[in-house]
Amino acid sequence: MFTTSRVSRFIVLVLALSPLALIVAIVQPAPSAFAQGLLHASQASLRLKKCHRAVRGAHIVRADRTAVVYSRHPYAAASQSDLDLSVCLLARGRSWHLDGDGVDSLLADFRLQGRYFVWTDQTLSGPASTPGLGGIYLVDLVSRKRLVSAPVVDGKGTTDPYPTGPYLGATSSPSVAIGPHGELAWIGSADAWYPTATAASPVAHYEVWDSYQGTTTQLDVGPDIAPHSLRLSADGSTVTWISAGQTKTAQIT
């Protein structure tokens, strides 16, 4: 005679051996979104710690879900002389050197967008460490390829008689935009542009540029460009800016 407990064990055994058990196993609910989120957060935290260990003593310059960019020297305000940049991809937890040798350089204008990172680099020279010879750079952090290496401004394409170019003075990049496929556009500013050799003070001088797939193009130049007006379309194909109150447009090809 079967007791209640024996009957229960018999039912469990039958169910375990029947196709129903397979069906029950298949329809078991997947881990909740909350649990998956905790797992992903934990994995990301471990990768971030691995990145930090790889660049001990560095300071974070920029960070997002893809990468962390570090400087090897104290980072202050928007720029810092004698910086040495490294990057660590969170998916790999490995760091590598980007730019700077810690001597006579001024790195600034940092932008991090997904797999792409942009910065400017100027050489410091003379007893007063005067910045000059400014360049802008775009690197693909996944492939480790430098996609753009160009002057912030070059002094060409202007009607000003002096300087005739290339321009070797201090520069800045008040507007920088990165597209989803590595398109780059920027407005460069010459911070010491003298219209004539005898001018007592510098005047405004701006240049609009784009660069994609190895081709760098000057789009506009002059004192009437609004330095913060640069916009890049979501697909990276169109750049707009304002000059003399009028919106201008160019296609990036």
Render pLDDT for 40-73 as a digit per residue (tens, 0 to 9).
Answer: 445 556 666 777 776 667 778 888 888 888 877 6
239 or 90, which is more confident: 239
d(C-alpha 157, C-alpha 137), whole Å = 21
Print burial letters for 33-67: b (CB count within 10 Å at least 16), e (below 16). eeeeeeeeeeeeeebeeebbebbeebeebbeeebb
What domains can you pick out in the chain, each with its CATH number? 103-251 (2.40.128)
Distance from the first to the final alpha carbon of the chain: 86
- The model carries a pTM of 0.71
146, 147, 139, 142: which is closest to 88 by C-alpha? 142
pLDDT at residue 81, as a whole number:
52
Q: How many CB atoms lie within 10 A of CB 174?
A: 16
Q: Examine the pLDDT at 106 and tell me if it is beyond 90.
A: no
pLDDT band at 37 (very low <50, low <70, confident <90, very high): very low
Q: How far is CA 61 from the centre of its chain?
A: 11
18 or 107, which is more confident: 107
3-state helix, strand, coil in the chain (%, to 5): 15, 45, 40
